[in-house]
Amino acid sequence: MERRFDALVVGSGPAGSVAALVLARGGARVALVDKARFPRDKACGDLIGPRAVRILDDLGVEVPGAERVGDMIVLGPSGRRVRLPCRPGLTYPGYGFAAPRTVFDEALRAAAVEAGAEFFVGRAGEPLVAPDGSLDGFVLSGGSRLGADVVIGADGAASRVGEVAGLVDPSRVLWGFAVRAYVDDPVRMPHIVLWEPSAWRGFPGYGWLFPGVGGRANIGLGVGVLSDRSAGAAATRRFDDFVEHLRRMGVLEAALVPSRQLGGWLKMGMLGTTPARGRVLLAGDAAGLVNPLQGEGISQALGSGRAAAEAVLAGPAEAARRYRRILAATYGPYQSITAPVHGALLTRPRAVAAIGRLVTAPGLGRAVAGGWSIFWNDLLEGAAPGPPRVVASAAAGVGRLLTARSPARFLRDGGDLPAAARAGVH
């Protein structure tokens, strides 16, 4: 027997839980589905950025045990360090926080359930198809048949919803793969590591050592692979070498041994993805809403989950078009610059090495640190006036000029859409 809802949200990570929370608070009947029982772990750096903090405050969601973090250290290939300040903007605070995904995701899921969303455990299996051929819901692995007026796919980079709805072209996606482990090290400040496995051959990604909760740090390595997912094994294969590099640089104590690794896929820059069509909307990683320069996805997940829910509440018939416009305005300007840059650099290890050395060079790194922090973390919109904002604005302007003719630019009219969708066909 099929159960019917106003909205079916597939995936109960940050994007899905926030979408379900906002929908339920708005009076919608919501089914929230995840393949795992909670709490569950996820491969992540466990850092929640300033924009995400603001969204959580707006929603009134508290994360138990979270620890505040601020400035960040960038460790260059030659061992030089640059401190990137975390300053408050006009629309976000001057800090983020660290929280393990087991805690963070459960806090959001619980808030959605408390608001009235009904939670189901099971994989989205056989699709339910409406008479007009559109996606109408799913049969879960446990046998439940869930139908809905709107389906929101928040089910990660390899989205089942996106696949079934035909919203993703895998050959155009900018894929990434990251592995992380935990280590007993009371790291107080986040470290981003620009690494050269061999001299002047930059690793096509970056590593990190982030503060955790209770003296447990998060250590990880991410690699960009363009559309070749078989290359994702490089992060796992080179992880031990990266850990040894941190020891040589004095960032990690030699005696400390990381825990078992956990890996996960990233889909970056929205390239190759139509974020919404008809009665189906994609949010978070499913929509490719991951920063192409540094892999952040939490704030985009929260923001897109909220935006998807608000678009639906304003009227399901126009939800897809409305949602695409929101994504275009919110994420389009930045991702249209950084996705082409990401794609161009991955196949040029010498250029990656040169940039890493340049931005951490004595004098230059300190001079541009404030603007670098704003631009790299996609904080220009809402940044406080001052020299750092001027530097970030200049970087964005140069980026627009350099990528103006790139085929990877997109989101000009509401999404990386095929011609039919651009013409208004749903």
Number of structural domains (the chain) is: 1
pLDDT digits (tens, 9 = 90+) for 294-307: 999 999 999 999 99
> What is the reported pLDDT for 121?
98
pLDDT digits (tens, 9 = 90+) for 153-168: 999 999 999 999 999 9
In a domain, 330, yes or no: yes
In a domain, 55, yes or no: yes
In a domain, 353, yes or no: no
* Reported confidence tier of residue 408, pLDDT bands at 50, 70, 90: low
Domain that holds residue 319: 2-70+91-171+267-334
Instruction: Sheet with 262-268: list strands edge to edge.
Output: 81-84, 72-75, 191-193, 205-210, 217-226, 174-183, 262-268
In a domain, 218, yes or no: no
* Reported confidence tier of residue 366, pLDDT bands at 50, 70, 90: very high
In a domain, 228, yes or no: no
| Two tokens, residue 211 | 């503060």
Mean pLDDT of 388-411: 87
The Cα–Cα gap between 138 and 163 comes to 13
Q: What percent of the chain has pLDDT over 90?
A: 94
In a domain, 204, yes or no: no
What mean pLDDT, rounded, does the chain reach? Answer: 94
- Please give the full DSSP string across 91-104, using - where no structure is assigned: SS-S-EEE--HHHH
Q: Who's near 29: CB < 8 A, 6+ residues apart?
A: 5, 6, 7, 118
Among 256, 11, 212, which Cα is nearest to 109's? 11
In a domain, 16, yes or no: yes
In a domain, 202, yes or no: no
CATH number, domain at 155?
3.50.50.60
Whether residue 419 is predicted with pLDDT greater than 70 in this model: the reply is no
CB 280 within 8 A of CB 167: yes
> What is the reported pLDDT for 410?
53
* Reported confidence tier of residue 414, pLDDT bands at 50, 70, 90: very low
Exposed/middle/buried for residue 313 (C-beta within 10 Å: 0-12, 13-18, 19+): middle
pLDDT digits (tens, 9 = 90+) for 228-254: 999 999 999 999 999 999 999 999 999
What SS3 state is found at 188? coil
